[in-house]
A and B are shown apart, each in its own frame.
Chain A
């Protein structure tokens, strides 16, 4: 019984670490200057946080003797789709001319995008 309790404590500590990840990525969401850096903080930190939290939940309910395939599918799906959605938002932002921060040095993608736009107009 004591070992069981200890593993439950480990699962709950995993959940706590995950919420700290989410909290730090939210601080990045407030403090960083433009959308691209914010997406950098948010997609990595939030994905890692939700993975820790769902993994801790999964471990906790395995200790209760309940293997949930739905929770496993949820972990898999979130891990697969969170970076994709961040990529799609950032691509939409760059194509709709959202400015970079003032400190940024160069934007290689801009030339490619303008050339692409020009070619699509002349077609």
Chain B
């Protein structure tokens, strides 16, 4: 019973991931693609959570935390690049 529900939720989640990949390929502008990548990271994170329930293993929780942090940092870096042209600004000397 539990296993069947988990398999169905993985199916729904993979449909969501296919939708984000569609937007990643087709999206007309750069911020669309960045947004789709962000959603892809979030969906991947929930996929890892579902797999850790399915395997009854507690070894993947670091992966969940790490994917969350890395996806956030990547999104912020891309958004700064789109907005200002640089990721890390230099301090003006004198």
Contacts and interface: CB of A to CB of B under 8 A. Distances in A.
A37 B75 CA distance: 19
Contacts of B36: 29
Contacts of B31: 35, 89-90, 92-93, 96, 98
- Give the most central of B18, B31, B65: most A CB within 10 Å: B31
Q: Give chain A's interface residue range (CB within 8 Å of chain B).
A: 35 or more
A8 B2 contact: yes
A72 to B, nearest CB: 9
B12 to A, nearest CB: 4
Given A18-B46, A25-B16, A96 B82 contact: yes
Given A30-B22, A39-B35, A42-B35, A50 B46 contact: yes
B45 A78 contact: yes
A22 B75 contact: no
A9 B2 contact: yes
Nearest to B4: A12
B34 A89 contact: yes
Interface in B56-70: 56, 58, 61-62, 64-65, 68-69
24 contacts: A9-B1, A9-B2, A15-B6, A19-B13, A22-B43, A26-B16, A26-B19, A29-B23, A29-B36, A30-B22, A46-B39, A47-B42, A49-B46, A53-B50, A54-B49, A54-B64, A61-B53, A68-B58, A71-B61, A78-B45, A85-B79, A91-B83, A92-B31, A92-B79
Given A22-B43, A57-B50, A91-B79, 13 more contacts: A26-B39, A29-B39, A38-B23, A38-B32, A49-B46, A57-B53, A71-B61, A84-B72, A85-B72, A85-B75, A88-B80, A96-B31, A96-B83
